[in-house]
Amino acid sequence: MRVSAVEALAQSHSPEHVEFLRERALDRNSKVRVAALHALGAYRSRDLLPFLIERFQGDDSYLAQAEALRGIGTSGDPDLAGFLRKAATIKSPRNVLKDAAEAALVQVNSTPGTKCEDCSPRAAVASTSSN
């Protein structure tokens, strides 16, 4: 039921739902987290990058981590290409992280973007390597 609620809200793309989706991205159920991260990625907002990076680094579900990577890709921020290349090297069942990171790389390399001021790729990669 919680997954359905998140999926329904995702269709609206309303800014007023972002906080609810962020909370659901911390849910105890990984399917709810995946749905929430997918919905947040659909906003294509660079403002959500620090949160998506944190969820990639902090979630214990490969599927949720992969959805966070895809969300990072939708931002189109080419400054995160190094972060995504590093993420693509992380081992996971069925290469789910590698595939998500490579899909995100295609998006950031093909979308014109400006620099993300809230999340430098060096800091993001450093945080990943310390986990």
Q: What is the CATH number of the domain that holds 51?
A: 1.25.10.10
Q: How crowded is the C-beta side of 69, counted as CA atoms within 13 Å?
A: 30
Domain that holds residue 22: 2-130
Work out the mean pLDDT of the chain and round it to a whole number.
85
Instruction: Give the separation between CA 126 and CA 51, rounded to whole angstroms.
Output: 16
pTM equals 0.81
Which residues have C-beta within 8 Å of that of residue 22, sequence separation ≥ 6? Answer: 36, 40, 51
Number of separate domains in the chain: 1
CB atoms within 10 A of CB 64: 24
Percent of the chain with pLDDT strictly greater than 70 = 83
